[in-house]
Every structure is written in structure tokens, then in C-alpha cells.
Amino acid sequence: MNDVASIGSMATLTRHAMGDPDADGFFGEFGGRYVPEPLMGACQQVEDAFREAWASDEFRAEYLRLLVDYAGRPSPLTECSNLGRDLGLRLLLKREDLNHTGSHKINNVLGQALLAKRMGKTRLIAETGAGQHGVATATAAALLDMECAVYMGEVDMQRQALNVFRMKLLGAEVIPALSGSRTLKDAVNEAMRAWVSEVEDTHYCLGSVMGPHPYPWMVRSFHEIIGTEAHAQCQRLLGGLPDLAVACVGGGSNAAGLFAGFANEPSVRLVGVEPAGGAAVGRGIPAVVHGMKAYFLQDEVGQIVEAESISAGLDYPGIGPEHSFLADAGRAEYYPVTDDQVVEAFQLLARREGIIPALESAHALAWVVQEKEQLAGKTVLINLSGRGDKDVAQIQERLEK
């Protein structure tokens, strides 16, 4: 199982699991490419290169080899017997926390970094909020011998000083975003602005299923390995499918990767869990931001509102266009959970299963705990998007204050 050939053949199975966007990059009414003229060409170049590479057996083999030999795929599927018994359901975790760099993010950055090389680029830029995507991008740049610059809100740089140092250790330059609220959405704006003048040698490695076409589609494609593996692993373990596939949603990349493996299975409910303070599907309105049309949290005059959540990795005020579409189409459901529920779920998984999850991932478990009566007897698959080492100090402060 642990070899490139078997993963490779699985990865071919779901080539079009969730459907491609239309020629202009729309999933229904969402998505598109709303960028200034100079970035149109850059996005088109990325799209052309991605289409060509994704159809190439040689590119896929190289990508899958990195996922296996470097990132440690396939990630295991773990059955949680203790917690499952407590909750009265069958609980399975897809262990993206065990990937190199500690989350699903490596799947996407390895794909994009390889693509950038193939395009003849020598430099990667990225935005980061909590720093996880910045660290993953800096890692891929080090591996593939590329230069790297990461845009990060000045406020986030103070809050996540350790990740700033990690990126520097990995050889990346960290550039403070000084505009607006000096957080993630400003880092995205500044990275896009910088890309315009550097596009000759630089690829913009976007960190979630958002931004202008082809990013939402491309990033989802690089994460489909999560759902593809999970589908095969469930077949082997259960002899069938789970009743639900549940994932946390910031921009939506780990959820999109998981959902892609099950979207064609009508019996599987797809559930995305958002922080109550960033519930873009529940409380958002369609808007054009960061190059795409999607659901965003807005105030009365249409200004984008800051998302607020205990987990910095979910502090994005919007949700990707494909999720916006899946929500409207009723194929996937999205629900909010509160910070208190998340902290409880975080502790529960640690105590009952010996797994400390990322606070982001704990959102998915928090929803399952909340719904345990409704879910009694069901088989629930949760994407454990990342590990919680980064969050331990924050939780200690909260619990012991």
C-alpha cells in the first residue's frame, strides 16, 4: 500500500470527482477571475501550465513521489474506539496531522512548487495567517531549491512569532503586511500586488481553495489525494462507505480535498464546520473579494468583516467558491461551532485517544460531539487536518488562567 504505484492508481480514479469549473472558472455563479488586467495573463499562464501538468503522467508521478517519500503519504485512517463508544457512533480519523510539517497544507504546496519549477519560475511567494501555509511554502521552496518570500500581517507576525522564525530558518523572507487590519486578508492583497511586478520569475503559491481561477480548482485538485485515499481506506476497513465526511473550513482546502473523494457517493453526507465568528456560509453574502465571487462576512455597508476564532488558521472572512456552490446546491452542509465547544473537543480527543489535534481540526469533532444524538449508530469520518503542538501554549493559557 505504501508505494507510489498504488497511490498513483488511486489518484487517477477521482480525476474529476467534484466536477471542473466552467471555462471562465465558475462553479455555478461562484468563482471567476476578478483581477486587474496585469494579473489576467499571470493567472492564465498558471491555468495553462496546470492543465498541461495535471494531464501529464510524468508530472503526476513526480508529485506522488514527493507525497510518499517526503511528506509521508498515505496518511493513516485511525478508528477511535474509546471516543466512538463514548459518543455512541463509529468514529474514523483521516490523519493529515501526520504529514510532514503537521497538516494537509503540504499536499498543495508540493504540487504548486513542482508546477512553478515546470513553468521555469525560480521563486515562490505566499500569504499566511497563522503561519502554517508560510511554513509549508518555505519548506517546499527549500526542498526544490527556490527562493521564497511570505507575506504576513504585522499583527499576525507578533501573534505567531515562532512560525516567523521557522520560516526564516527554512530560508524564507517574511514581509510584513502593513495595510488594513494587518492580518490575513491584507497579506493576500499585498501578495497579489507584489506578484504583478514579479511575475516573470515568481509563482504565487496561494494557500487555500480561494482566489482567482484556476486557484480554487487547482488547490482542490492537489488535495484530492486526501479523499481518494480515505475512500479506499474506508472500503478496506468498513467494506463500504462512512455515513458522513466532516471537515473544518477556513478557506476550505482540507474540506474540499476530503469531499472530492465522496462527492459522487450520494449516501455520504458532506459536512463543513466553521467557527461561529467566521461563519461565511451561515451569515455571509456573495461578494467579489480576492479575485473571486464567493460568500463573505460583510457589515451593513458591504465592508468585509474580520473573522474571529480561537484558531488563527480559520480566521478567513470568506469561503471558497466551490464550497459556496456546494452549499447553495445542497450537496454539502455547513455549520458553526463556538470556541468553547472547540476547546472541549480538543481536550476530549487528547484524553480519550491520545491525539492532540490542531484547534482548526477540533472544530469538526466539536460538531460531531454536538450532534451525537442525531448521529447515533452512524459511521463518521473526520478529516484531522493538523496536529495541535502549535496550539498547546494557547490552550494552557486559556485553561489555567
Ligand X SMILES: *Cc1c(COP(=O)(O)O)cnc(C)c1O
User: Among 53, 164, 184, 248, which residue interacts with ligand X (rule: CB under 6 A)?
Assistant: 248
Binding mask 161-200 vs ligand X (x if CB under 6 A, - otherwise)?
----------------------------------------
* Residue 103 binds to ligand X (criterion: CB under 6 A): yes
User: Which position's Cβ is nearest ligand X?
Assistant: 386
Stretch that binds ligand X, among 21-29, 74-82, 247-255, 295-303 (CB under 6 A): 247-255
Edge-first strand order for the sheet with 269-275 is 77-79, 90-95, 379-384, 244-248, 269-275, 332-337
Among 304, 385, 391, 395, binds ligand X (CB under 6 A): 385
- Residue appearing with cell numbers 510524468: 58
Active site residue 203: no
Radius of gyration of the chain (CA): 19
379 binds ligand X (CB under 6 A): no
Map residues 310-349 to x or -, x wherever contact with ligand X holds by CB under 6 A.
---xx-----------------------------------
Cα 298 from Cα 312, distance rounded (Å): 19
In the 8-state DSSP scheme, what is residue 93? E
Residue 133 and residue 127: Cα distance in Å, rounded?
7
Q: How far apart are CA 321 and CA 24, in angstroms?
A: 13
From 35-43, 193-201, 340-348, 356-364, span contacting ligand X (CB under 6 A): 356-364
Helix H, strand E, coil C: the string for 6-54 is HHHHHHHHCCCCCCCCCCCCEECCEECCCCCHHHHHHHHHHHHHHHHHH
Active site (annotated) includes residue 213? no
Residue 141: φ, ψ to 5°: -65, -40
CB of 178 to ligand X, least distance (A): 23
Q: Which is nearer to ligand X, 248 or 327 (CB)?
A: 248
Annotated catalytic residue, options 16, 100, 104, 213:
104
- SS3 for 234? helix
Shortest Å distance, C-beta 208 to ligand X: 3
Residues lying near ligand X in the complex (CB under 6 A) are found at 103, 105, 132, 208, 248-254, 313-314, 358, 360-361, 385-386
